[in-house]
Amino acid sequence: MIRGVLLDLAGVIYDGDHALPGAIDAVGRLHQEGLKLRFVTNTTRSTKQKLLTRLAKLGLDISTDELFTPGQAARDWLTAHESSPVLVVHPNLAQEFDGLPAREKRAVVVGDAGNAFDYTHLNRAFRALIDGAELIALAKNRTFKDEDGRLSLDAGAFVTALEYASGKTATVLGKPSPDFFAAALSSMDCPLEDAVMVGDDAEADVAGALRAGLAEALLVRTGKYREGDETRFEPPPTTTVADLAAAADWILAQR
């Protein structure tokens, strides 16, 4: 029985500066049927608060407890491990780490840094790693759908480059980390076997959720989806649907 639903944001609920057709209504229908919802994103170009503001402008008003972001997960990790960040992130995300105390232990934190992915920043991160810093990846996605509607290189390639150069393996905090899915489900007291994930990334969202133990994972043909994505990664999606509205239909029919 489906009790909880995890929803990706970019490419599922919104695309650029507009909500996808039927997406906001689909969220409302799921709420009305008594399902618990959490929003899980690998977006790392905005702080959690800015994302909440953006969603509100699109007509989706949710609380901070309903939104799970890698940036917030990284801040929590740094606090728990008493570490200071060496940031390789987008300038818009940097303020997520404001106020953290300076500590002797350090961790390189890599997100989608955009134009900040240059030799100077990457070499600074590399030197910190070989001097003993931990390597933290906010996410390890291969691509994302950019503002021009085309796929662009995401942080995964840069995380892999730092792993190769330093000989260290990154701790991934966002999807497909099982801990990321588990934290969202724990916040609504929903067991893995009663949960479904809906995303546009067949690798991080769908295969990642199923490997983490969720009962079902739906792939939508919006956002970064490309023809054939449903067969590129294991395990494959439970089913592939047109969009979030169709995903909501499927979920409600399964109840």
pLDDT digits (tens, 9 = 90+) for 183-228: 999 999 999 999 999 999 999 999 999 999 999 999 999 999 999 9
Average pLDDT over residues 227-233: 97
Domain finish residue from 172, 190, 219: 172
Angle of helix 244-254 versus helix 23-32 axis, rounded to 10: 20
Cα separation, 127 vs 10, in Å, equals 33
DSSP state of 101: P
Tell me how crowded residue 43 is: count the other CB atoms within 10 A of its CB.
25
What is the rounded end-to-end Cα distance, in angstroms, of the chain? 6
pLDDT recorded at residue 223 = 97
The verdict on 205 and 157 lying in the same domain is: no
Matching residue, tokens 């067969």? 231
Answer whether residue 206 is part of any domain.
yes
Decide if 109 contacts 135 (C-beta within 8 A): no
Domain finish residue from 154, 172, 190: 172
Looking at the structure of the chain, the number of domains it has is 2
pLDDT tens by residue, 150-187: 999 999 999 999 999 999 999 999 999 999 999 999 99
The verdict on 167 and 241 lying in the same domain is: no
Average pLDDT over residues 61-79: 97
The verdict on 184 and 164 lying in the same domain is: no
Give the bridge partners for 106, in sequence order.
84
Q: Does residue 147 carry a pLDDT above 90? A: no
Pairing of the two strands 216-220 and 195-199 = parallel
Decide if 244 contacts 217 (C-beta within 8 A): no
The verdict on 185 and 227 lying in the same domain is: yes
E strands, 60-150, where?
Answer: 67-68, 83-88, 105-110, 134-137, 143-145
The verdict on 152 and 204 lying in the same domain is: no
Longest dimension (CA), the chain: 54
pLDDT, mean over the chain: 97
The verdict on 217 and 168 lying in the same domain is: no
Decide if 165 contacts 126 (C-beta within 8 A): yes
Tell me how crowded residue 67 is: count the other CB atoms within 10 A of its CB.
19
Q: Does residue 255 carry a pLDDT above 90? A: no
Domain finish residue from 144, 172, 200: 172
Residue span of the structural domain in which 210 resides: 4-25+32-42+178-254
Is pTM beyond 0.85? Reply is yes
